[in-house]
Structure 1
């Protein structure tokens, strides 16, 4: 599902126009990004939590040359799925083969 398909699904479930649904989706995503960027955790009960986490500096390899490179420390966004989300996905995929 891409963004426009998600907007269509929101519009169908909420009886909002596609334009209003798009604005609402953009506002939600923007609010989550701003909060996580500020170091806050965004918890949506049943769905999951968005937070930022530090990633330590490490040594890597250039895949083309094999040369060792230093990868600097950084902060990355993390998502942890909630229990309801995990259960729903697990039940929906029971018996389905992975591609």
Structure 2
């Protein structure tokens, strides 16, 4: 599903125009992004948790020439699905 399909499906479900739905998704994205930048976590009930984790410093090896490089620590966004979402995914049949 791409962004346009998501907006169309949501707009049909909540009885809003596609422009209003697009604006709501954009606002949601902005709020989540700004909260993650300020190192806050966001929990959406029955969906999951968005948070920022610090990835530790590590040593990486270039497989072509065998040189070792130090990769500095960095912050990465992380999503942890909630229990309800996990249970719904477990109920799906895998083909």
Interval of TM-score (by shorter of Structure 1 and Structure 2): over 0.9
Residues 22-41 of structure 1 mapped to structure 2, 5 A cutoff: 22-41=22-41
Tell me the SS of whatever aligns to 2:69.
strand
Equivalent residue runs for 1:1-99 within 5 Å: 1-92=1-92, 94=93, 96-97=94-95
SS at match of 1:54: strand
Aligned residues: 95
SS at match of 2:65: coil
Distance 1:76 1:6 in 2: 25
Distance in 2 between the 1:35 and 1:82 partners?
A: 19
Q: 1:65 to 1:88 in 2, by over 3 A?
A: same
Using the alignment, how far apart are the partners of 2:64 and 2:26 within structure 1?
A: 38
Structure 1: distance between partners of 2:30 and 2:37: 10
Q: CA RMSD in A?
A: 1.1
Quote the Cα distance in structure 1 between the aligned partners of 2:61 and 2:9.
Answer: 43
**CA distance in 2 between partners of 1:11 and 1:90 (Å):** 28
Normalized against structure 1, the TM-score is what? 0.89
CA 25–68 in structure 1, closer or farther in 2 if over 3 Å, else same: same
Unaligned runs of 5+ in 1: none
